[in-house]
Amino acid sequence: MAKFRDSQPDDQVVHEAASSAAGAGATDGGDTTVVERSIGDIIAELRNLNADQVAKVLKHQTETGVRFGEAAVALGLASKDDVLYALSQQFHYPYAPEEKRKLSPDLVALNEPFSPRAESFRALRSQLMMRLYGEGETPRAVAVISPDAGDGKSYTASNLAVALAQLGGRTLLVDADMRSPRIHEIFLLKNQSGLSSILSGRADKQVIQQVPGLPGLFVLPVGTTPPNPLELVERPAFGLLMRELAGKFDHVVVDTPAAVYGADAAVIASRCGSALLVARKDSSRVHALRELVASLQGAPVKMAGVVYNEF
């Protein structure tokens, strides 16, 4: 089983991993004290309700026999979204209130956590947990691969990473698409330095960034797009980096370039140790999928399964 810990990335560990593998990582942080609050407390704080407004809600709650959140919604002092946010806080489930959702609409697992699409990613998470993180399994990263651009690799990798982080452990999303990177755009993160600088021996501080609003999710962006992406992932340093990261995080998800652009995806998958294949409805061709899977034959890659992307 995966071990779950609450922690923050540490620059010293990043530099230690960079020196040994041209890599980066994270270490355990201090204990976090959790103070339990009621739904009423959370909603009152979220909506800046004064004492009179809270009294009105409590009176309506007593008269109707409904819950505090329902009473607040009925009086127009809160929204249903506020209630969902308050519940998520009580159950320690990352969920941003509507007015605070600033990340890409592609992040359905974060922005729409109770939607059918988000549930699909939770189902995918469950399958991966059973197939890749069984008892006695060696920690490994999972590369998200597909034949063509536009199949939904970044969409799948990003939402899968969010779903894994929502379990409570540390999840790292690595953008290894050094041909057309998108992860930093999806999460609205800086992209001055990242994987490319690490692999070229120019490891900077804070290359691993924490996603705002989701304490358990970290991102390693590409950084500067290099002229030699395939050579960088073929070097031993990349494989060593993946092993370092798989040992320091509970889950590591890696986005890759489309196979149509070269052998990058196959090489990255072999260094990660497992792969998740993405096929898009009315777009992906069977022969292209077969060729990509065939390119992994003989490599130390465990196929985790296939995602059929309908969006």
What predicted TM-score, i.e. pTM, was given to this entire model? 0.75
Kindly state whether residue 194 falls inside one of the protein's structural domains: yes
Q: Is the pLDDT of residue 165 over 80?
A: yes
Please report the pLDDT score of residue 267 as a whole number.
96
Kindly state whether residue 47 falls inside one of the protein's structural domains: yes
One domain for residues 146 and 278: yes
Query: Which class for 63: exposed (0-12), middle (13-18), buried (19 or more C-beta within 10 A)?
Result: exposed
Residue range 168-219, pLDDT digits in tens: 889 999 999 999 999 999 999 999 889 999 999 876 677 999 998 788 999 9
One domain for residues 243 and 122: yes
Please report the pLDDT score of residue 169 as a whole number.
84
Kindly state whether residue 25 falls inside one of the protein's structural domains: no
**Higher local confidence (pLDDT), 156 or 47:** 156
- What are the residues facing 251 on neighbouring strands? 171
How many helices (H) and strands (E) are present in the chain, helices listed first?
14, 9
Kindly state whether residue 256 falls inside one of the protein's structural domains: yes
Kindly state whether residue 200 falls inside one of the protein's structural domains: yes
One domain for residues 112 and 194: yes
Determine the Cα–Cα distance for residues 106 and 97; give it in Å rounded to an integer: 17
One domain for residues 220 and 257: yes
Please report the pLDDT score of residue 13 as a whole number.
41
Please report the pLDDT score of residue 163 as a whole number.
94
Determine the Cα–Cα distance for residues 204 and 97; give it in Å rounded to an integer: 34
One domain for residues 146 and 197: yes
One domain for residues 256 and 289: yes
Residue range 222-281, pLDDT digits in tens: 999 999 999 999 999 999 999 999 999 999 999 999 999 999 999 999 999 999 999 999
Determine the Cα–Cα distance for residues 161 and 143; give it in Å rounded to an integer: 12
How many domains is the chain partitioned into structurally? 2
Where does the pLDDT of residue 45 fall: very low under 50, low under 70, confident under 90, or very high at 90 and above? confident
Determine the Cα–Cα distance for residues 303 and 274; give it in Å rounded to an integer: 6
Last residue of a domain, one of 23, 57, 91: 91
Please report the pLDDT score of residue 255 as a whole number.
98
The CATH number of residue 301's host domain is: 3.40.50.300
Please report the pLDDT score of residue 19 as a whole number.
46
One domain for residues 56 and 176: no
Q: By C-alpha distance, which of 273, 292, 44 is closest to 142?
A: 273
Please report the pLDDT score of residue 231 as a whole number.
96
Kindly state whether residue 179 falls inside one of the protein's structural domains: yes
Domain span at residue 127?
104-309
One domain for residues 180 and 305: yes
Please report the pLDDT score of residue 179 as a whole number.
95
Determine the Cα–Cα distance for residues 168 and 91; give it in Å rounded to an integer: 11
One domain for residues 142 and 199: yes
One domain for residues 116 and 248: yes
Please tell me which of 12-21, 33-42, 69-78 the model is most confident about, judged by mean pLDDT.
69-78
One domain for residues 232 and 192: yes
Please report the pLDDT score of residue 139 as a whole number.
77
- Is 196 in contact with 202 (CB distance < 8 Å)? no
One domain for residues 232 and 117: yes
**Quick one: what percent of the chain has pLDDT higher than 90?**
53
Kindly state whether residue 294 falls inside one of the protein's structural domains: yes
Structure tokens at 191: 């992209």
Please report the pLDDT score of residue 103 as a whole number.
66
Q: Is the pLDDT of residue 84 over 60?
A: yes
